[in-house]
Structure 1
Amino acid sequence: MTTYSLAPGWPRVLAALGLDPEAVARHARLPADLQRYPGARIGAEDFFALWEAAEALYQGPDLAVAIASAVSADHFEAAVFAGLASRDLAQAAERIALYKRLIYPVTLDVRTDTGLRIALRPRAPFTPPAVLERFELLFWVAFARLATRARIRPVRITVPNPPDDQTAVADFLDGAVLAQGRAAVVFSPSDMHRPFDTDVHAGMWEHLESDLRWRLHDLEQSATWADRTQEALLTCLPAGRRTLAEVALQLATSPRTLQRRLEAEGTSFQEVLAQTRERLARAYLRRSTLSSTEIAFLIGYGELTSFHRALRQWTGETPRSLRSV
């Protein structure tokens, strides 16, 4: 399973906003001391649950704006800090998009044909909460201002579900507001090529690039076949594909080879399928308003009774009790 580590500055940012990091973790139904361990890693659904918990506990008008306003070089991971060593925003976006998947469960699509457009592409079926989408886009505005030392204003920002009250957003964006659409931010051609004015030496990029390339290589090489199978199932199951042959095709291997590799790791396709179904069921019940019938269909059960029976076997609980946790 692909996992992610929280940014080292996450607890400090929460504390600066009047939030107790341990209370946020508990609200997200995660270990309270999770953020005390820098090496701790969590799945995409738990990563998103932390943001939802922080928003639920935050007393201010908009958590996304508050965190974006606190952006500084001190809070950046290496993948983002490397962007400060770029010549301009266009180059920084390309670099960060490549390496940010080490720390963030959403893919960044970057286009530079008519200005700079940075769009979020969720890694289905775990979609980021609205507060995280807003922050990610506002982050780019804060990053651009930090790197250029200019009060850059984006051409437009769109999100699937703009908040009703955009007072805080408008203050941050100097009067602009969020429009409805795919989560994306667009900068003008002049702003995307505005030279960076930072204290980060360009030569630092060579040092950081080597480290980041090794980390990407390790991430790709360390994935077990059980991990790869689960990641494939996360895409296949909602699309109605759940057989060994269909998943093997997704992984560009044969059914016999996939089964043999899983057996060598002490598991089987059916075991990984059950684990993935349970993971998806928990996520859908916790983070969506989908009916039990819809969830059963999305994780590959043709009958609701079969889903209820499997859920009881996995968790000992019913869909209603899991939703109310």
Structure 2
Amino acid sequence: MSTTGFTLTSSITATFADHDIPAGPVLRAAGLPEDLFLHGPVTLTPEQFYRCWTAMEELSGDPELGIRVVERTSTETFQPPLFAALCSPHLRRAAERIAVHKRLLGPQRLLIGPGDELHLTMGWPPDPPPPPGLVVYELALWVAIARLATRARVVPARIAVPDPPGGTVAASWRDYLGVPLGRAAEPVVVFAAHDARRPFLTANAEMWRVFEPDLRRRLADLERAESMAERVRAALVELLPAGEGTTAGVARRLALSGRTLQRRLAAERTTFQAVLDTTRHALARTYLNRPDVSIPEIAFLLGYDEPSSFYRAFRQWSGTTPQRARAR
């Protein structure tokens, strides 16, 4: 478990076996020891994790490997946070739970957009970029979860990635997803409101009560190891739409005094304002990819009292206006 790496268990070898890919050559091609999983869960850097995925694609000789992996999705291969999602009453609640616990699996962020439709945007570490096939797989996994839990062919309203595949791979993804893969600056999948609330046949409140304490404990362990800037950023994502993205609001969420919060950020050579600005900028880029959210609404979601304040800040961050950024 790490704030900067991807945590994998030995169950990943079952994925290799499901697709007749020997684990040893994959690890060797990725520059990792072949006995990597003999001693329990391991944490890989983003670069190591991406090399493993790329090695799987190359050694399988199957350009549609991501589709095959998604199609074989079952409860057997789920790690605890994902398995716990199946205990949820519906997809929206599952997404809310995963958004909280996603950090237990790797340095990714799941942003849930406003509105009745369920907008799920995936954030990845900025460098190096993830393999395009992995990005599509991560979004398609939400479709697999919805179908597995409801036993219905749930079709997303929209799904888009920065680098969609072409040719026969694109056609195969369209057949599986039910819609074509679009292009967007940030990976996003959207579900209709009725699908977001479609009851999960796997809902199990008792099982969730069993899982939740352990997940909560693991999150607490992670937060103790996490930087203060990362904790502030995560709190801001939740607090900004409510207009509480202030030093006092974040300090309350983190159970700290405002002075302690500022002192710990200073120890990391940053400030609350710097973290606030970078978080707002990242969220603004995500919201601008959604044509259904107006620019005044984006200003509100980022905690600005007036759209003009957002305009000035965005120009300072990016050197352009929100309208021009959206047009691009």
Distance across 2 between alignment mates of 1:255 and 1:64: 39
Correspondent of 2:219 among 216, 220, 240? 216
**More divergent stretch after superposition (154-163 vs 104-113):** 104-113
Match of 1:116 in 2: 118
Deviation digits for residues 183-230 of structure 1 (CA, Å, limit 9, x no counterpart): 1110000000000001x521111221110010011112245xxxx499
Cα displacement (A) at 1:88? 0.3
Percent identical pairs in the alignment equals 36
Any conservation in 2 of the 1:8–1:75 contact (CA below 8 Å)?
no
Distance across 1 between alignment mates of 2:66 and 2:188: 15
Distance across 2 between alignment mates of 1:250 and 1:64: 45
Give the residue type in structure 1 aligned to 2:189.
Answer: V
Cα displacement (A) at 1:60? 2.1
Match of 1:191 in 2: 195
Give the residue type in structure 2 aligned to 1:60.
Answer: D
Note closer, same or farther for the CA distance 1:206–1:32 as it changes in structure 2 (3 Å cut).
same
Distance across 1 between alignment mates of 2:211 and 2:81: 8
Deviation digits for residues 280-324 of structure 1 (CA, Å, limit 9, x no counterpart): xxxxxxxxxxxxxxxxxxxxxxxxxxxxxxxxxxxxxxxxxxxxx
Distance across 2 between alignment mates of 1:72 and 1:251: 43
TM-score by length of 2: 0.66
Cα displacement (A) at 1:57? 1.5
Name stretches of at least 5 consecutive residues in structure 2 with no aligned partner.
232-261, 270-328
Note closer, same or farther for the CA distance 1:194–1:132 as it changes in structure 2 (3 Å cut).
same
Correspondent of 1:40 among 27, 39, 42? 42
Cα displacement (A) at 1:167? 2.5
Give the residue type in structure 1 aligned to 2:54.
Answer: E
Match of 2:134 in 1: 132
Name stretches of at least 5 consecutive residues in structure 1 with no aligned partner.
233-248, 257-325
Match of 2:298 in 1: none
Deviation digits for residues 111-166 of structure 1 (CA, Å, limit 9, x no counterpart): 25130011111122343211110100110001000001111011111011111121
Deviation digits for residues 28-67 of structure 1 (CA, Å, limit 9, x no counterpart): 1111221333222222221122111111222223121111
C-alpha RMSD over aligned residues: 2.5
Distance across 2 between alignment mates of 1:250 and 1:132: 39
**1:204 is aligned to 2:217:** no
Match of 2:317 in 1: none
Distance across 2 between alignment mates of 1:103 and 1:149: 26
Match of 1:260 in 2: none
Match of 2:150 in 1: 148
Match of 1:180 in 2: 183
Give the residue type in structure 1 aligned to 2:265.
Answer: A
The alignment of Structure 1 onto Structure 2 pairs a total of residues equal to 235
